[in-house]
Structure 1
Amino acid sequence: MAAEGPEPIAAPIHPTVEALIRHRLGETLGGLRGSLEAAMPMLAFVIVWSATRERNLAIGAAAVLTVAFAVVRLVQRQTLQYVLGGVFATALAAFFALRSGNAEDAFLPGILTSLAYLIGSLVSVLVRWPVVGLMVGVADQAAVAAGDPFRWRRNAAAVRVCSRLTLVLVAVYVIRVGIMGPLYLAGNVAGLTISKVVLGWPLWVGAVAVMGAMLLKGHTPIDPDDELVQPVDISRT
């Protein structure tokens, strides 16, 4: 009986940093539908409460939208990830707004969250642990299975790519805080409501487009020992 040879090692689903990041960003973004499911209940609360000052009516409006989104997802047997995210965001916004009595305070948690992400993303680049790189590590199933989710850090080119992409995220948070912060201080609820929508999914689409352009020509291997995929000179990208 012939001896069996060694089992072949499965090729990674996404062999390059660029391919993996594109896939991961697509999952994180959730598309227009996911963004609406996360934002619309909170905006419904703010609009109804600002117009009526009826707490129960405002909460009810947000709840109706949430239930509607959830039912559609369940019927289609799809994830409730973005719907549940909207529940958390709405509850937090309602807590701040109802406690202070000011509608603009419903937007404060989001502004503070963006500020925290801005600082965290910038620090991650400075210490050479870019946030996008951590996304790569989590999404790299082969590395996780091998107990080496940070193998990308041994690849200097991958670290540079991920650092540049993380700076795009920093720019997103700078725009959000830079616009919504002054609107909040001015008590401009209408401006905040519009900004919440415009600086949500549309801004993410713009950021992903910029990242896509940066990744278009790159073929940086996730594993520095992978000889199947040769890295490009990213200084030209």
Structure 2
Amino acid sequence: MAEQAHGIAEPMHPTVEALIRHRLGEAFGGLRGSLEAAMPMLVFVIAWSTTKDRTISLGAAAALTVVLGLVRLVQRQTLQFVLGSVIATGLAAFFALRSGDAQDAFLPGILTSCAYLVGSVLSVALRWPIVGIMVGFADQAAVAAGDPFRWRRNAAAVKVCSRLTLVLVAVYAIRVGIMGPLYLADNVAGLTISKVVLGWPLWAGAVAIMGAMLLKGNTPIDPDDDLVQPVDVWSR
């Protein structure tokens, strides 16, 4: 009972890969989260491309966002991905309305992918892999104790997370490599299709590859390892 009162317990996992797989499952939003984040922005782009009417375009995107948010509220679920779509749609609208060109709505996403690409590469080089950071913040016990980076004290976890982050590097490189030339060519139709294909489907492929890597891996966990120990949230 004392251990339950002082720590936040979680299921025990036999390998580093199994533990990371468990925590990544908590961190990713899945198909629904990805669609909620992308659909309002796509609705804005399609409406703006066909009507050039600011009110209709923003109204359509806002209406869809409200519907998605209400469904989440009724189900008493997180609004995280819906709120993310508000930011993405707002940036897209700013660029598109400012220039008058529909393709400029995709510029923030392309620039963001460039930033993520550079950041992912640097994170691996500096031994602070992005996937590891995601794993750390999905560790509720560590976050509650103010120690979301305890995974870095485990060399095996850093190594595994670095390999997984290289998958993200490939994802962002593909997005920039395809959407960048389409943007320069003012190809709105190609950008719209690419936004969909390189959104959830590409993410699904990346997650599948990560899952295969984690299923194949067999790095043993020491039961006394700090990575898997419940954190005493009262003693810090």
Same fold, TM-score > 0.5, yes or no: yes
RMSD: 2.5
Letter in 1 for 2:16: V
Letter in 2 for 1:133: G
What residue number does 2:41 align with?
A: 42
Moved more, 64-73 or 181-190: 64-73
Cα distance, 1:127 vs. partner?
1.0
What residue number does 2:76 align with?
A: 77
Change in 2 beyond 3 A, CA 1:167/1:228: closer
What residue number does 1:156 align with?
A: 155
Q: Residue 216 of structure 1: SS of its match in structure 2? A: helix
Cα distance, 1:36 vs. partner?
1.5
Give ranges in structure 2 of 5+ residues lacking alignment: 229-236
User: After superposition, what is the alpha-carbon deviation per residue over 1:146-189, rounded to whole angstroms, capped at 9, x for unaligned?
Assistant: 55433322222211101100000100100111111111111110
What residue number does 2:198 align with?
A: 199
User: Per chain length, whose mean CA-contact separation is higher, i.e. which structure has more relative contact order (CA < 8 Å, sep 6+)?
Assistant: 2
Task: Supply the distance in 2 between the matched residues of 1:48 and 1:10 (Cα, whole angstroms).
Answer: 48
Give ranges in structure 1 of 5+ residues lacking alignment: 230-237
Matches within 5 A, 1:154-233: 154-220=153-219, 225-226=224-225
Letter in 1 for 2:158: V
Task: Supply the distance in 2 between the matched residues of 1:211 and 1:124 (Cα, whole angstroms).
Answer: 17
What residue number does 1:30 align with?
A: 29
Q: Is the 8 A contact 1:18 1:220 kept in 2?
A: yes
Q: Is the 8 A contact 1:155 1:223 kept in 2?
A: no
Moved more, 8-17 or 145-154: 8-17
Moved more, 65-74 or 53-62: 65-74
User: After superposition, what is the alpha-carbon deviation per residue over 1:26-45, rounded to whole angstroms, capped at 9, x for unaligned?
Assistant: 34432222211111111111
What residue number does 1:232 align with?
A: none
Q: Is the 8 A contact 2:131 2:164 kept in 1?
A: yes
Letter in 2 for 1:39: A
Task: Supply the distance in 1 between the matched residues of 2:129 and 2:89 (Cα, whole angstroms).
Answer: 30
Task: Supply the distance in 1 between the matched residues of 2:177 and 2:141 (Cα, whole angstroms).
Answer: 39
Larger Rg, first or second structure (1 or 2): 1
Change in 2 beyond 3 A, CA 1:162/1:178: same
Task: Supply the distance in 1 between the matched residues of 2:223 and 2:177 (Cα, whole angstroms).
Answer: 38
What residue number does 1:100 align with?
A: 99
Cα distance, 1:137 vs. partner?
1.9
TM-score, normalization: structure 2? 0.85
Number of equivalent positions: 225
TM-score, normalization: structure 1? 0.85
